Amino acid sequence: MKKSANQLIGTVFGAVYVLVGVLGFTVTGGVGFLATDGGLLLGVFEVNPLHNVAHLLIGAALLVAGLTGLRASKSVNVTVGAAYLLLGIVGFFIADSALNILALNTADHVLHLASALLLLGVGFAADRDVHASRASAA
């Protein structure tokens, strides 16, 4: 059966975020779990161990939902997209404070906002015809 746009995006994003979470641990040796400064992943994105765990959990949720079905992937894409939108905005305000427990930097904020826009866009706009055709078939 053909995967929906939400399932495809959820599965791809999930796999990427799980990979990012695992790779993050290669640059966070000696970094405190809640440190406000972390190691640089790919030389650009600042991460600490908590940030890595967050990537693993978010990636797993997106991946499992993407492999489960349309309804699950759509819900998780919208939920994660909304959380990333909030984090992307709030991140700019907490970056230089003790509240920055994820060791966020500007590159992280931009990536979180871009992820949010894509996940929310797909979650809200894609696969409407799939729901309509299933409803009319019932």
Gyration radius of the chain's alpha carbons: 16
Question: 70-128, pLDDT tens digit by residue?
Answer: 999 999 999 999 999 999 999 999 999 999 999 999 999 999 999 999 999 999 999 87
| Whether residue 12 has pLDDT greater than 60 | yes
The token pair at 115 is: 């992820």
- Ranges of each domain in the chain: 5-35+43-126
| Whether residue 136 has pLDDT greater than 90 | no
Check residue 51 and give its pLDDT.
Answer: 98
Interatomic CA distance for residues 2 and 48, integer angstroms:
38
CA distances (Å), origin 24, targets 13, 27, 75, 103:
16, 6, 27, 12
What is the mean pLDDT of the segment spanning 21-31?
97
Check residue 137 and give its pLDDT.
Answer: 41
